[in-house]
Structure 1
Amino acid sequence: MTSVGVVTPFWLDRPPAEALDIAVVADEAGFGTLWIGEMATFDAFALATAIGLRTSDISLRIGPLAVGVRSPVALALGLSTVVAMTGRRAGLALGASSPRIVSEWHGRPFEPVRRMRQTVRDTRAILNGDRVAGFRLQQPVPDRSISVAAFGPAMTRVAVEEGDEVVLNLVSADHVADVCGAFSGVADAPPPVAVWIPAALDPGEATLRQLRSQLAVYLAPPGYGEMFTALGHGDLVARARSGAPRAELAQDIPVDLIEAVGAVGSADDIVRRVDSYFEAGVSHVGLVPATAEDPAGRRLLTTLSPLLTKGRR
């Protein structure tokens, strides 16, 4: 069974409260899942609670949150609070994040692979009502899904072995197929795969600038750079890794690179791109709506919902 959901984006050129508007539009349009991450605006659990109180049916997937920033107790308390305050279906997602966010912003050691395995195990146990390190949750929320965002081979192994779902962000359909093919060497029955992709309906120049700005952030990091190089854009990767200004790189990102890791164009184009990810092996696609020319992604989400959610949730 496949499904299509919506991801609250982190567009720095948009007002932070637009996340609430996107959630309302996604709920009204009939999407079944909303992903709620965290960067430099709102606390994810607080935002999820506000969204749960303003929407009627959409289920909430909180994260991926940076592993190591919150303890398993804090993660379990956060999810339990959201469920208790909103009465909404909710799950949790964890990811490696980056040294800047984990170590510089939060003052925690950046040890994502080592921390992820134990964090998933302990958080799951606490949510199920077990006592861990002397702590027991007074309002357990058992059998909640814990997804793990992964990219490199070490984190992918942990995600496959420990997670209820593997999450991939900003990747091509070919990369997804390669990752899914590699699962056979890790587990006999690997978990389902979800992918996040930026989406824009008939994008104009302002939207393309927004998407280029996002992509420029991912040109240099290990793994992403190699994927973009395989897609034929090694020159951009080399410049990013040599310290070229991000704004300069963003200006030079071609539309075909945006199209390779996203769903942009006409409604039919977007449907075809989403289907290509399903064909590559994913079970869930999370659309990250571009909002530079489409506030709250309203036009995108209301147009695409009947085309993408029929028979799915």
Structure 2
Amino acid sequence: MTSVGVVTPFWLDRPPSEALDIAVTADEAGFGTLWIGEMATFDAFALATAVGLRTSCISLKIGPLAAGVRSPVALALGLSTVVATTGRPAGLALGASSPRIVTEWHGRPWEPVRRMRRTVRDTRAILNGDRVDGFRLQQPVPGTTISVAAFGPAMMRVASQVGDEVVLNLVSADHVTTVSKALHGPDGVPTPPVAVWIPTALDPGPDTLRQLRSQLAVYLSPPGYGEMFTALGHGDLVARARAGAPRSELAQDIPLSLIEAVGAIGSADDIARRVDEYFAAGAGHVGLVPATAEDPAGRRLLTTLSPLLTKGRR
């Protein structure tokens, strides 16, 4: 069974409060899942609580959060608080993040693989009601799904071994196929299942394309992403990014073909077909990241796409 959800984006050129408006729009449009990440605006658990109190039925997936920043106790307390105060089902997603965020912003050591294994193991145990290092959660949430965001081979192995779901962000359908085959579950179904986030824009104009290009420019140089973009034929951009070219300069040179390779843009039918391509590649869930530069809160996108993408799915 496939499903389509919505991701709360944190566009740098949009007001932070738009995240709440997107949540309300996604709920009213009938999408079943809302992903709530964390960047430089809101605490994810606080935002998820606000979303739960302002929406009616959409389930919440909190993260991916940097596994090296919060302890398993803090993660379990945050998830439990959201569920208890909103009455809304919620899952948790964790990712390695980056040395800049983990070490520079939060002052934690950068040891992504070891930290991910331990964090998933201990957080799952605490949420199930077990005592871990002397701590027991008074309001456990047994059976909480813990998704793991992955890209490189080391974290992909960890995600496949300890995660309930593998999360991929900003990847091509061919990359999803590669990951799905590597997970080689029974009957060709990946185990664990794969979720993928894709930037999405309905009939994008120049401001929307500028927004999408600016986001893509951030991902040109990191390991894994750079290699994927190179394989897609954009090695010159990757080389310039890794040589220190300004992000604004790189963004101007990102071609439409690269946006199309890792996203879903165009008419409603174009987007629906693109989502189906990701499902055909092996994804079990697609999270739409709505572009909002010319479509505040993604209202036109989400209300138009919901009948095409959620019928028979949640």
TM-score in same-fold range (> 0.5): yes
Q: What does residue 249 of structure 1 align with?
A: 250
1:141-170 CA-to-partner distances (Å, cap 9, x unmatched) read 100100000000110001001000000000
Measured after TM superposition, the shift of residue 194 of structure 1 is 0.1
- In 1, are the aligned partners of 2:220 and 2:238 still within 8 Å (CA)? yes
1:221-279 CA-to-partner distances (Å, cap 9, x unmatched) read 00000000000000000000000000000000000100000000000110011000000
Q: What does residue 303 of structure 1 align with?
A: 304
Q: Distance in 1 between matches of 2:61 and 2:267?
A: 28
1:234 partner amino acid = G
Residue segments in structure 2 that go unaligned for 5+ positions in a row: none
1:5 partner amino acid = G
Q: Distance in 2 between matches of 1:33 and 1:242?
A: 39
- In 1, are the aligned partners of 2:61 and 2:92 still within 8 Å (CA)? yes
Q: What does residue 219 of structure 1 align with?
A: 220
Residues 225-304 of structure 1: pairs in structure 2 closer than 5 A: 225-304=226-305
- In 1, are the aligned partners of 2:180 and 2:190 still within 8 Å (CA)? no
- In 1, are the aligned partners of 2:63 and 2:94 still within 8 Å (CA)? yes
Measured after TM superposition, the shift of residue 189 of structure 1 is 6.8
How many residues align? The count is 312
Q: Distance in 2 between matches of 1:174 and 1:62?
A: 27
Q: Distance in 1 between matches of 2:154 and 2:234?
A: 25
- In 2, are the aligned partners of 1:127 and 1:141 still within 8 Å (CA)? yes
Measured after TM superposition, the shift of residue 183 of structure 1 is 1.5
Secondary structure at the counterpart of residue 64 of structure 1: strand
Residue segments in structure 1 that go unaligned for 5+ positions in a row: none
Measured after TM superposition, the shift of residue 113 of structure 1 is 0.7
Pair 1:136-2:144 in alignment: no
- In 1, are the aligned partners of 2:145 and 2:164 still within 8 Å (CA)? yes
TM-score scaled by length of structure 1? 0.98
1:184 partner amino acid = H
TM-score scaled by length of structure 2? 0.98
Measured after TM superposition, the shift of residue 10 of structure 1 is 1.1
Secondary structure at the counterpart of residue 91 of structure 2: strand
2:217 partner amino acid = A
- In 1, are the aligned partners of 2:4 and 2:32 still within 8 Å (CA)? yes
Q: What does residue 156 of structure 2 align with?
A: 156
Q: What does residue 10 of structure 1 align with?
A: 10
- Percent same amino acid among aligned pairs? 86
Measured after TM superposition, the shift of residue 184 of structure 1 is 3.0
Measured after TM superposition, the shift of residue 17 of structure 1 is 0.3
Secondary structure at the counterpart of residue 199 of structure 2: strand
Q: Distance in 2 between matches of 1:108 and 1:154?
A: 20
- In 2, are the aligned partners of 1:161 and 1:190 still within 8 Å (CA)? no
Q: What does residue 210 of structure 1 align with?
A: 211
